[in-house]
Amino acid sequence: MSWTADEKVVLVTGGAAGIGAGLVREFLAKNARHVAFLDVSEKEGATLERELRNKFGALRAKFIKCDVTDEIQLGDAFRQVLDKHRKLDVVVNSAAVVGDNSLCKTMIDVNFCGTVTSTLKALSIMRADAGGCGGAIINVSSLQAFKSSTCLSVYSATKGAVLQFSNFLADEESYSTTKVRIITVCLGPTDTALLHKRNLNNSAKDGHGVSSRASEPQRVESAVNGIIEVIQQAESGSTWIIANNNIARDVTMNVRESFRILSDITDV
Ligand SMILES: NC(=O)c1ccc[n+]([C@@H]2O[C@H](COP(=O)([O-])OP(=O)(O)OC[C@H]3O[C@@H](n4cnc5c(N)ncnc54)[C@H](O)[C@@H]3O)[C@@H](O)[C@H]2O)c1
Ligand SMILES: CCCCC[C@H](O)/C=C/C=C\C=C\C=C\[C@@H](O)[C@@H](O)CCCC(=O)O
């Protein structure tokens, strides 16, 4: 039987806004039992929680103020969800910040370290060989993982690191033992606050943007639907591109081939 959100307990980091918030809404619309969303933005989190509780009832959604760079806060947030709901089925790591290299430490801490800490916590809770029920961890990367734009070398490197970490961990921790799928989605430009930190068209016009072929950023809805499609069908260790309002494209073979070529060089 194919995967459905029905009765699932879900945790989304960076879930108060943008693509994370879109996912929170969609999981609930698709009948998830409970969606916990973690974010540093208290105002947006509380507003979204009110909206969701009015629409879906008081028990189905919970905002937890949490900075993913703080291991204690993150541990507490996972514990709250587990204590209350006794299981965790899906974790989406969507929290991220973008900026120029003056923000390097924050980007590394949030985009990479936060994703790593959350993934390892999720895996330890969900893994079937340690009493969990299995599940899926989706790490949100970017087309910038493959080709950076001007001023975004650190951001792009964090997204490359998320991709590599997720694939290496999926290799290390066999799905047949853990029953936890670890999946990477690389999004193209998507119409959220993060994108509008700098005008996309200027970025594209400068000839360095990976998005230069796209005239418009994709809709949040396309990114969200793409991620849900990926959860429905992706194997552990797979990599997917969701861009230009197209359906999710499996690029696992391309990524593996590029690493096969690189690892051949190390056989000296
Ligand atoms: N929008 C795009 O064009 C685009 C393209 C490719 C990839 N992505 C990726 O998609 C994901 C979602 O981005 P978005 O576009 O929805 O951005 P967004 O800025 O709308 O949402 C990101 C959320 O993360 C939260 N956040 C930031 N720091 C945090 C922290 N320390 N702890 C907890 N939460 C924190 C923010 O408050 C915000 O609510 C990110 O991983 C981003 O890198 C976005
Ligand atoms: C010599 C020029 C100096 C200009 C400084 C410049 O304006 C600094 C910008 C700093 C950060 C801007 C980031 C904004 C990026 C977004 O528009 C977008 O391109 C992010 C892409 C997200 C993604 O695709 O993953």
Nearest ligand by distance to the CA of 148: 2
Q: Is the CB of 100 under 6 A from ligand 2?
A: yes
At residue 113, the pLDDT reads 98
What is the 16 CA–ligand 2 centroid distance (Å)? 22
What is the 249 CA–ligand 1 centroid distance (Å)? 21
Q: Is the CB of 134 under 6 A from ligand 2?
A: no
Rg of the chain taking only CA atoms, in angstroms: 18
Mean pLDDT of 20-48: 98
Rounded distance, CA 56 to CA 21, Å?
15
Ligand 2: residue of 19, 198, 200, 210 to mutate (most ligand atoms within 8 A of CB) is: 198
State percent of the chain over pLDDT 70.
93
The Cβ of residue 131 has, within 10 Å, a number of other Cβ atoms equal to: 8
At residue 262, the pLDDT reads 87
Ligand 2: residue of 104, 155, 156 to mutate (most ligand atoms within 8 A of CB) is: 155
Q: Is the CB of 138 under 6 A from ligand 1?
A: no
Does position 185 have pLDDT exceeding 50, yes or no? yes
State percent of the chain over pLDDT 90.
88
What is the 121 CA–ligand 1 centroid distance (Å)? 20
Contact yes or no for 49/74 (Cβ under 8 A): no
Asked which of 9-18, 100-109, 144-153, 196-205 is least confident by mean pLDDT, the reply is 196-205
Nearest CA to ligand 2 atom 15: 198
At residue 264, the pLDDT reads 87
Q: Is the CB of 192 under 6 A from ligand 2?
A: no
- At 167-183, the pLDDT tens digits run 999 999 999 999 999 99
At residue 263, the pLDDT reads 87
At residue 17, the pLDDT reads 98
Give residue 1's pLDDT band: very low, low, confident or very high (50, 70, 90). low
Does position 98 have pLDDT exceeding 90, yes or no? yes
At residue 54, the pLDDT reads 97
Does position 198 have pLDDT exceeding 70, yes or no? no
At residue 192, the pLDDT reads 97
Atom of ligand 1 nearest to the CA of 41: 37
Rounded distance, CA 103 to CA 260, Å?
33
Does position 199 have pLDDT exceeding 60, yes or no? no
Q: Is the CB of 189 under 6 A from ligand 1?
A: yes
Rounded distance, CA 150 to CA 23, Å?
29
Rounded distance, CA 187 to CA 174, Å?
26
Rounded distance, CA 9 to CA 209, Å?
37
Contact yes or no for 44/17 (Cβ under 8 A): yes
Rounded distance, CA 29 to CA 23, Å?
10
Nearest CA to ligand 2 atom 9: 100
Q: Is the CB of 117 under 6 A from ligand 1?
A: no
Mean pLDDT of 188-215: 64
At residue 206, the pLDDT reads 44
- At 210-234, the pLDDT tens digits run 444 456 999 999 999 999 999 999 9
At residue 214, the pLDDT reads 53
- At 39-94, the pLDDT tens digits run 999 999 999 999 999 999 999 999 999 999 999 999 999 999 999 999 999 999 99
Question: 3-state DSSP call for residue 133?
Answer: coil
Which active-site residues does the annotation give? 155
Give residue 268's pLDDT band: very low, low, confident or very high (50, 70, 90). low
| φ, ψ (nearest 5 deg) of residue 243 | -150, 160
